[in-house]
Structure 1
Amino acid sequence: MRSAFDFAPYRRSTVGFDRLFDMLENSSLGQTQENYPPFDLIKAGENEYRIELAVAGFKPDEIDITSQQNQLVVSGRKNEESDETGSDYIYRGIANRSFERRFALADHIQVRGADLKDGLLAIELVREIPEAMKPRKIDIGGSARQTIEANAEHAK
């Protein structure tokens, strides 16, 4: 299934963006995905994000959070044991089903931690750019030549 937008001209003139274009082209497939549990995406700071999922009725040991490469998978599986209270339900409106939610993470996004409180699972994310990838100022002039000459003199 292809998207309505053709990314071919961009693919020809860019290098290393294949994963991004594939994700954009396949985004229409994600629209058929089930919308349970509902969630919020929150930008908490310049490089900080939070995902909040409504997981009412789930205990911490029934939820798994896995971060692998550029994907975050949150899944919940209710224990198959009978109701703890022994009650017979006339109507059960609170969802008691298993779920799996997948989130594509950008490069250098790391999961900092997670907390379950009042039926909301909050997953803290942070963008940590490696020092080698941060912009750095390059001086114009013979600084490289001076460094080589200084090293040569020091070696004598």
Structure 2
Amino acid sequence: MTRNRLPTEAFLITFDTGDGSAFRRPRGSDGYPPYDIERLAPQKGAERLRVTLAVAGFAENELDVSVEANQLVIRGKQAEREEADYLFRGIASRQFQRVFAIEDGMEVTGASLRNGLLAIEIIRHDPVHLVRKINISTAE
């Protein structure tokens, strides 16, 4: 199967996980925000995945989740806040964009934000195998 060329910053998500190569991280990515990808129990004949990003400090209105072509794009941009007098600042507060390339037939069904974790649900329904009868005409 041939694929469209993907941007170098995209992560590939596929259900072909026999050898663990289904999730490929590009070289040189900074790793922010950290994320997990987990396989969930199938439901009603559909395979399911969850992508979870650690987005501590981001409010719901500062996050954007969209599907563009065959890419799941997650963006975060924190609103301007009054600068505090920090003695130490260890919690990142920078904007980000994380891109995951998804296979044809995968559908992002929803996203939720709880306890600083953004969880995005992805499903792929079993392919429908159609049988079509072809009529044979007689040539005269």
- Is 1:110 the counterpart of 2:95? The answer is no
C-alpha distance 29-38 of structure 1, shift in aligned 2 (>3 A): closer
Q: Show the counterpart of 1:35.
A: 31
Q: Show the counterpart of 1:134.
A: 128
- Percent identity, please: 35
Show structure 1 runs of 4+ deviating over 3 A: 25-29, 136-139
Q: Which has the higher contact order (CA 8 A, sep 6+)?
A: 2
Pairwise CA distance, 1:69: 1.9
TM-score, normalised to structure 2's length?
0.72
Pairwise CA distance, 1:33: 1.5
| Aligned partner (choices 93, 98, 103) of residue 95 of structure 2 | 98
Pairwise CA distance, 1:144: 5.3
| Structure with a larger share of its residues in helix | 1
TM-score, normalised to structure 1's length?
0.65
C-alpha distance 33-118 of structure 1, shift in aligned 2 (>3 A): same
Q: 1 CA distance for matches of 2:3 and 2:86?
A: 51
C-alpha distance 18-108 of structure 1, shift in aligned 2 (>3 A): closer
| Structure with a larger share of its residues in strand | 2
Match of 1:96, SS state, is: coil
Note the residue ranges of structure 1 that are not aligned, 5 or more in a row: 1-15, 149-156
Q: 2 CA distance for matches of 1:137 and 1:109?
A: 23
Q: 2 CA distance for matches of 1:110 and 1:118?
A: 25
Pairwise CA distance, 1:88: 1.4
Match of 1:44, SS state, is: strand
How many residue pairs get matched?
119
Match of 1:61, SS state, is: helix
